[in-house]
Structure 1
């Protein structure tokens, strides 16, 4: 005989609306009223043979006797093997973490990169080294920009280069002259194109003064252009300027392609 709605309610209330097998409670899970001894095995519909059961436990129990022999316990060797595998995975993860630089290390390295760019640009333009005091002032400003702004690494590198080329420790004055990602990439490619074309002529590269002058003329040009649509034009002009050993790229923008 089917369990009545009244009896079902009483069983659920008796079991505190929780599965007697796993403890899961309503409304987290849907509860059924389950026969402890299945009716197919002679179980009755009496309250002492009924329990609250979640759908998962009820499906897993199926038509088995409550005193049926349980499945074999897990072999202890399996536990040991699982523990060993987990320990090995933990060791590999720890080794990877140790091999990766910390955020502080990466930040410090980038600061060093910025001051190196600033110092290099200063030296290439002035043929002198900045004083320790000047370098410290520039470093403090660059570190402040690197840690406190949301500018990209390319933009910060551009600022460091511009300030160094101007022999200025007032790095903040050059913040508004930074290039976009596309402009910076175009500028870097154009410098390489110009240098390679210059060197192809007789095997010698441009001087530091020529390089600094070309970078200045290139920057003045790139900030006015669409770095995506006019990329090929700028690279072609850089190649022509290099072949003619000319640090002024603007003179080669309208040159014929075969020059």
Structure 2
């Protein structure tokens, strides 16, 4: 959406008809209203992203009353983020793609935030999330799909702490053990309850407990113990495999 003449004049009036970057004033220079963060990098047309700058302008003076309340001022975090983006763009190695991907991640985070709550994060919250996402994208070997998933989960939870949503990945051996343990647990549950299957909530609870457990184990060395614990938990119609594993002291226990 284009910036209206009225809003342009309000920005000029708020900034005392002086350039926010160098302080020059009219009529010595011609003034324009400029985006602090370019729209191509996710900047908005809201007052807190607009400033008076030393370029040709079209004034909307007649559209506003002289005694009207000033529009919202630009927050310093907006300037800081714009400066970070400009410095990053100036760097020589692959930064067009890097900046575009950073913008993609923060856009996903903001979209997920708004979709869940129908509200917008504050500038400070967006800045903190942007810094966390950029740091993670530049400092890890995660795939773009996984980074996008992390951004979505953080936004959906209305969180700026991006690291909370980094979950360890299962190895092939751990994944195989987990799948087999779920099958053993489910089969044992049905056998103990005359073919009544566990509910989806009970299955979800068991899988969550199992996931955290498998991450801590040597999936090859402790496979038999985990399978025995899964069988015990199923027979007891219990969603916790951890307490049954602790009861097994040797590999090759009851299965």
Q: Aligning the two structures, in what range does the TM-score lie when normalised by the shorter sequence? A: 0.3 to 0.5
For the pair shown, the structure with the greater C-alpha radius of gyration is 1
Name the one with the larger helix percent. 1
* TM value normalised by structure 2: 0.36
* TM value normalised by structure 1: 0.35
